[in-house]
């Protein structure tokens, strides 16, 4: 039914209960895609957990060992802001495997979506801000090691700056990092991305879309990557509890379309991930992520041959 694959695993759910991170959103999104007739069962692929070998392409052996042996210090646990359990560890390994698989499928089909991932606050040597493993970093490094891509771009529209992404790829000319975010928000500090667009509190649709367009044009002047990872956070939404921008559902839809159209026009495949989303109503967060899938479908169906590689 969809012109691309959607990557999902039931164990993406972090099972965090009443935590501000709505860990049930992965399942709700999967169920909504089916219930609303947007996808059918044949569109889904189930990932394997990323092999430790791939995790270690990004993360330090000391940090990975602490995760595997449950020996994070108290301050490391507090920085991570979610519990380290067998279940959460598996969910992050699966998210990294899922983003890697999405990268492979995007190279085949022009687009693919991981219904998890976008854990852009994870650094090589520590996790923070609900992010244990940097799935997009793992995916890019794995695809590069397999010789599938040489260059990549991350387009990160989560309301929070992609600090982990910037830290991982800061000195690497093969990966271009773009982050459009609320300047006056977590994280602090914000290590420099290749293109940082720090927006004022309360930025609305029109201003946001103008800034994003300018940033994308600027980025594509510098690089035409083999693959784009789209980190499509739902938290620039006006009703988000952890964000201070003021985008509407329609503005977020236009944001997604803009990224996909720019990529499609240039024949660059896109793998999308979720990232944050803390709307007062979880249904809104799910709707925003669902709209990302619909935007990708519509852009591909309206431009059928442009992205075939
Ligand atoms: Zn966020």
Distance from Cα 309 to the centre of ligand 1, integer Å: 32
Q: What is the residue-averaged pLDDT of the chain? A: 96
For the segment 84-91, the average pLDDT, to the nearest whole number, is 95
**What does the pLDDT read at residue 258?**
98
Within 10 angstroms of residue 265's Cβ, the number of other Cβ atoms is 13
User: Which two structure tokens, joined as six digits, stand for 31?
Assistant: 């169920």
Q: What's the rounded Cα separation, in Å, for the pair 45 and 6?
A: 6
Q: Is residue 14 pLDDT above 90, yes or no?
A: no
Nearest in space to 237 (alpha carbons), one of 182, 296, 307 = 182
- The sheet with strand 5-7 has its strands ordered as 44-45, 5-7, 111-114, 270-273, 227-231, 152-156, 175-182, 195-199
Q: What's the rounded Cα separation, in Å, for the pair 18 and 23?
A: 9
What does the pLDDT look like over 110-138, one tens digit per residue? 999 999 999 999 999 999 999 999 999 99
What does the pLDDT look like over 264-283, one tens digit per residue? 999 999 999 999 999 999 99
Q: Which helix (H) or strand (E) holds 152?
A: strand 152-156
Distance from Cα 233 to the centre of ligand 1, integer Å: 6
More confident residue, 24 or 144: 144
What does the pLDDT look like over 159-216, one tens digit per residue? 999 999 999 999 999 999 999 999 999 999 999 999 999 999 999 999 999 999 999 9
Q: What's the rounded Cα separation, in Å, for the pair 273 and 115?
A: 6
Question: How would residue 305 be classed by pLDDT, with cut points 50, 70 and 90?
Answer: low
Distance from Cα 257 to the centre of ligand 1, integer Å: 20
**What does the pLDDT read at residue 307?**
44
Q: Is residue 15 pLDDT above 90, yes or no?
A: no
**φ, ψ at 191 (rounded to 5°):** -60, 145
Distance from Cα 230 to the centre of ligand 1, integer Å: 14
Distance from Cα 123 to the centre of ligand 1, integer Å: 15
User: Which two structure tokens, joined as six digits, stand for 115?
Assistant: 């219904």
**What does the pLDDT read at residue 217?**
98
Compute CA 27 distance to the chain's CA centroid, rounded to the nearest angstrom: 17
Ion ligand 1 — residues with CB < 5 Å:
158, 160, 233, 235, 276
Q: Is residue 306 pLDDT above 50, yes or no?
A: no
More confident residue, 128 or 307: 128
Q: Is residue 16 pLDDT above 90, yes or no?
A: no
For the segment 217-242, the average pLDDT, to the nearest whole number, is 97
Which residues, other chains included, contact 32 with Cβ-Cβ below 8 Å and sequence gap of 6+? 38, 286, 290
Please, is 98 exposed, middle or buried when counting C-beta atoms within 10 Å of its C-beta (0-12, 13-18, 19+)?
A: buried
Q: Is residue 289 pLDDT above 70, yes or no?
A: yes
Helices (H), the chain: 25-35, 52-55, 61-68, 74-80, 86-109, 135-145, 163-169, 205-222, 249-265, 282-302
- pTM, two decimals, is 0.97
**What does the pLDDT read at residue 21?**
80
Distance from Cα 238 to the centre of ligand 1, integer Å: 13
Question: How would residue 20 be classed by pLDDT, with cut points 50, 70 and 90?
Answer: confident
Which residues, other chains included, contact 223 with Cβ-Cβ below 8 Å and sequence gap of 6+? 151, 153, 176
Beta pairing class for 111-114 and 270-273:
parallel
């Amino acid at each position: 039914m969809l012109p691309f694959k959607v990557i999902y695993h039931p164990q993406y759910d972090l099972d965090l209960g009443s935590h501000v991170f709505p860990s049930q959103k992965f399942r709700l999104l999967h169920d909504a895609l089916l219930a609303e007739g947007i996808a059918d069962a044949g569109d889904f692929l189930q990932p394997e957990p990323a092999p430790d070998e791939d995790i270690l392409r990004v993360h330090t052996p000391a940090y990975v060992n602490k995760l595997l042996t449950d020996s994070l210090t108290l301050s490391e646990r507090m920085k991570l802001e979610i519990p380290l359990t067998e279940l959460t560890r598996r969910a992050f390994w699966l998210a990294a495997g899922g983003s890697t698989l999405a990268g492979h499928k995007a190279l085949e089909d022009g687009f693919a979506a991981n219904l998890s991932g976008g854990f852009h606050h994870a650094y090589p040597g520590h996790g923070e801000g609900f992010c244990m493993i940097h799935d997009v970093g793992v995916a890019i490094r794995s695809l590069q090691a397999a010789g599938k891509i040489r260059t990549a771009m991350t387009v990160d529209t989560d309301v929070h700056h992609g600090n982990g992404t910037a830290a991982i790829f800061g000195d690497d000319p093969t990966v271009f990092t773009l982050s459009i975010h609320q300047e006056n928000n977590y994280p602090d500090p914000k290590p420099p991305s290749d293109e940082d667009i720090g927006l004022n509190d309360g930025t609305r649709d029109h201003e946001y879309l103008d800034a994003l367009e300018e940033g994308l044009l600027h980025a594509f002047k510098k690089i035409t990557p083999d693959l784009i990872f789209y980190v499509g956070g739902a938290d620039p939404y006006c009703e988000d509890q952890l964000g201070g921008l003021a985008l509407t559902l329609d503005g977020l839809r236009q944001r997604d379309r803009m990224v996909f159209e720019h990529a499609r026009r240039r024949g660059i495949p896109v793998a999308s991930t979720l990232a944050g989303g803390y709307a007062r109503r979880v249904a809104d967060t799910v709707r925003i992520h669902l709209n990302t899938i619909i935007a990708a479908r519509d852009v591909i169906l309206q431009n059928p041959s442009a992205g075939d590689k």
